[in-house]
Structure 1
Amino acid sequence: MYTKKKYSKWTMLRWTRNETRFFIIFTAIVTVLYEVVGLQWLQLPWTPIALIGTAVAFLIGFQNNAAYGRIWEARIIWGGIVNNSRTWAMMARDMVTNEHAKVPRTEEALQAERTKLVYKNIAWLTALRYAMRQNKPWETVANRGTNKEWFDAFKLPELNVPIEEELSKVLPEEDVAYIMSKKNKQNAVLTLMSKQLRELKEAGYIWEFSFLEMENVLKEFFSLQGKSERIKNFPYPRQYATLSYDFVNMFILLLPFGIVPEFHKIGINLSENFPLIGEYFVWLSIPFGVIVSWIFNTMQRIGTVGENPFEGSPNDVPITTMARGIEIDIREMIDELEETIPEPYPVIRDVQM
């Protein structure tokens, strides 16, 4: 997700440069054919084109509102994951004690159990973000034109580092093997977390009331995971996305045939008092047509890249950065040494991963 508004503005022009080049060439060709070659039958009434533009604008607005709603909901879900992960670390730190233990342990042994609980939370975050980055058939933004440049620049860890490698940093080999044997790996991690809680409760290292409170946090993890999976696995309705794309292209192709004659008529009227301006006024249809086409196309593309907030585009929810931020926070909460805590993921081209 972009971190600087200024950079985003200039990036937008670069992002749409291929389409902008086409708009300039296409509008210029229509203008030359109409004004220079004399094919003045290449014109369409402006009123129906304006009506099409109005309908397309409503459709794009609907698409962008729906896409923004999906992004915002995803951000709220991951905000809940942040808060509950910190709560889990706090409970692991303060509720694993010898107070009700059947066989008391040393502080080092208790700290090891606390660390295991926190590390399993990190493993769950890892499994969840990897699941959210898995490509779905309807997620095609990365394969379209200039979008590919951004994906190549980011090098998302989920697409370049095996999940086993990430899990092995915080879990023992047998736990990693168990998780990898399951289809829903994030569910498997939560199962391991609940299992450890039960074992600690049975041994008396967690009081029964504390056990119930921590199980409630696990329940909330399941709920947030399900909400995140719902957004990932249920696409924006394709009929709206496809129609929006086709209607915008239709409008852009018709636009020059309505704009050029209108500017030609205005030029004729201006010629009476301003001959020089009137003679060349029709050529202003090129920049005007390009601007209108660029606005409609860019708004449509913004809606398209916002449909899937976990795909990994610059406009998505930065779950990779958020997961690493949570990991740093909860490791610090259990007083890990600074040198063992990983660094935040870098911001690349003012974009968080």
Structure 2
Amino acid sequence: MLIKKYYSIKDMTFWTRHETLLFILIASIPTVAYVIFAQKWLVLPWTPIALVGTAVAFVVGFRNNAVYDRLWEGRKIWGGIVNSSRSFSILVSDTVTNEYANDSNKLSEEELKKERITIIYRHLAWLTALRYAMRTKKQWETFMEHKTNREWASRINIPEFEIDEKEAISEYLSDAELAIVMKAPNKCTVIQKLQSQHLRKLKERGLIWEFSFLALEGHLKDLIALQGKSERIKNFPYPRQYASLNVYFVWIFLLLLPLGIIPEFAKIGQIVAESFPIIGKYFVWFSIPFSTLVSWVFHTMERIGTVGENPFEGSGNDVPISTIARGIEIDIRTCVEEDPENIPKPFEVRLNIQM
């Protein structure tokens, strides 16, 4: 997720450089044919093109609004995960005690701390599995198919693309639990099942009060609900009919645009020639940079919508789930009084972008 005020012109130029060259070519071909080869028939009335442009602007705006709603919903879901994780860790640190245990079931303070850390680590395993699930590529996700998008992703180094999932989860689970989890199609759900079983066993031994057990189970229920909401966004794409038609309409407009701009600039050139003959003679050539600029604006807005369709895909404008998850890890490991030396540092912010 972008954390600076704005992208610089340099950033935007780098990101759209291939399209910009294509727009220059599209604008240049009919202009050369019109001026050099006197193909005066290569023109269209400006009014219908302007109407098409207006319709395209509405379609692009509609899509970008819908895409932003998906992004903002994803951020609210992960904000909920932050809150529930903190509450869960506080409950674990304060409710796993010997207060209601029989003498035969009581544990030493060191053993109680180990139980708390085991629960917290299992929660971190769930969080890790969830962020890897959100980064898994779906058939309809096209962000990485574009060269400049891959360049950005490689520069910000998304952890889920560089570290194997099993290796990441293994930091938080025992070998036996890891083997169970890695076989499951939905690793997150299995981890929460293991978590619930562990809490129940502690309750049966009197190490968790029954009402505290219900409170902890309630948090697991909330976390599973948030997981389902996040999966809903991940597994249901922005409707293809809107996405596809949006691209087609934009490109139809971009191809027609020079044919409407050229005659308009030719007319302006005739007027300018009355006062500035030299400028007026060549004024029609200014249609190339103007067409390029208008094309760049429309296409860039359409492309922003494309890269924002899937808010967990890994672009610089997505929900920064890696950074959020690491922040949660730091908070909850602190809650169970783990050695600060063992608590990881926040992910590095690169190119002013959170991961």
Q: TM-score, normalised by structure 2?
A: 0.96
Report the counterpart of residue 210 of structure 2 in structure 1. 208
Report the counterpart of residue 84 of structure 2 in structure 1. 84
C-alpha displacement at 1:273, in angstroms?
Answer: 3.2
Report the counterpart of residue 129 of structure 1 in structure 2. 131
Tell me the amino acid that sits aligned with residue 13 of structure 1: T
2:322 to 315, 320, 323: 320
Tell me the amino acid that sits aligned with residue 98 of structure 1: N
Per-residue displacement from partner, 1:20-63 (whole Å, max 9, x unpaired)? 11112221222222122211111011111111111111110111
Per-residue displacement from partner, 1:173-225 (whole Å, max 9, x unpaired)? 01101111211000011111111110111111111111111111001001000
Per-residue displacement from partner, 1:282-324 (whole Å, max 9, x unpaired)? 1221121111000000000000000000111111111111111
CA–CA distance in structure 2, aligned partners of residues 251 and 98 of structure 1: 72
RMSD: 1.3
Residues 60-75 of structure 1 aligned to structure 2 (within 5 Å): 60-75=60-75
Report the counterpart of residue 246 of structure 2 in structure 1. 244
Per-residue displacement from partner, 1:41-100 (whole Å, max 9, x unpaired)? 110111111111111111101110111000000000000001110111100111111110
Question: Which runs of no fewer than 5 residues in structure 1 stay unpaired?
Answer: none
Report the counterpart of residue 52 of structure 1 in structure 2. 52
Tell me the amino acid that sits aligned with residue 330 of structure 1: I
Moved more, 25-34 or 270-279: 270-279
CA–CA distance in structure 2, aligned partners of residues 308 and 289 of structure 1: 30
Q: Do the aligned partners of residues 198 and 9 (structure 1) sit closer, same or farther apart at CA in structure 2, a change above 3 Å counting?
A: farther
Report the counterpart of residue 255 of structure 1 in structure 2. 257
Per-residue displacement from partner, 1:227-251 (whole Å, max 9, x unpaired)? 0000000000011111111111111
CA–CA distance in structure 2, aligned partners of residues 186 and 154 of structure 1: 26
CA–CA distance in structure 2, aligned partners of residues 94 and 286 of structure 1: 69
Report the counterpart of residue 111 of structure 2 in structure 1. 109
Residues 199-348 of structure 1 aligned to structure 2 (within 5 Å): 199-348=201-350
CA–CA distance in structure 2, aligned partners of residues 76 and 308 of structure 1: 15
Tell me the amino acid that sits aligned with residue 59 of structure 2: L
Query: Are 1:7 and 1:350, in contact at CA under 8 Å, matched by a contact in 2?
Result: no
Report the counterpart of residue 18 of structure 1 in structure 2. 18
C-alpha displacement at 1:8, in angstroms?
Answer: 4.8
Q: TM-score, normalised by structure 1?
A: 0.97
CA–CA distance in structure 1, aligned partners of residues 272 and 33 of structure 2: 22
Query: Are 1:3 and 1:352, in contact at CA under 8 Å, matched by a contact in 2?
Result: yes
CA–CA distance in structure 1, aligned partners of residues 12 and 212 of structure 2: 51
Instruction: Report the number of matched residues.
Output: 353
CA–CA distance in structure 1, aligned partners of residues 347 and 279 of structure 2: 56
Question: Which runs of no fewer than 5 residues in structure 2 stay unpaired?
Answer: none
Per-residue displacement from partner, 1:80-136 (whole Å, max 9, x unpaired)? 001110111100111111110122211111111111111111001001001111110
SS at match of 1:316: coil
CA–CA distance in structure 2, aligned partners of residues 92 and 306 of structure 1: 37
Report the counterpart of residue 94 of structure 2 in structure 1. 94
Per-residue displacement from partner, 1:255-300 (whole Å, max 9, x unpaired)? 0010011010111122223333322221221121111000000000
Moved more, 157-166 or 310-319: 157-166
C-alpha displacement at 1:7, in angstroms?
Answer: 4.2
CA–CA distance in structure 1, aligned partners of residues 35 and 340 of structure 2: 71
Tell me the amino acid that sits aligned with residue 37 of structure 1: F
CA–CA distance in structure 1, aligned partners of residues 163 and 340 of structure 2: 24
C-alpha displacement at 1:162, in angstroms?
Answer: 1.9
SS at match of 2:112: helix
CA–CA distance in structure 2, aligned partners of residues 25 and 5 of structure 1: 32
CA–CA distance in structure 2, aligned partners of residues 151 and 166 of structure 1: 20
CA–CA distance in structure 1, aligned partners of residues 31 and 159 of structure 2: 48
Residues 192-203 of structure 1 aligned to structure 2 (within 5 Å): 192-203=194-205
CA–CA distance in structure 2, aligned partners of residues 91 and 9 of structure 1: 48
SS at match of 1:42: coil
C-alpha displacement at 1:335, in angstroms?
Answer: 1.3
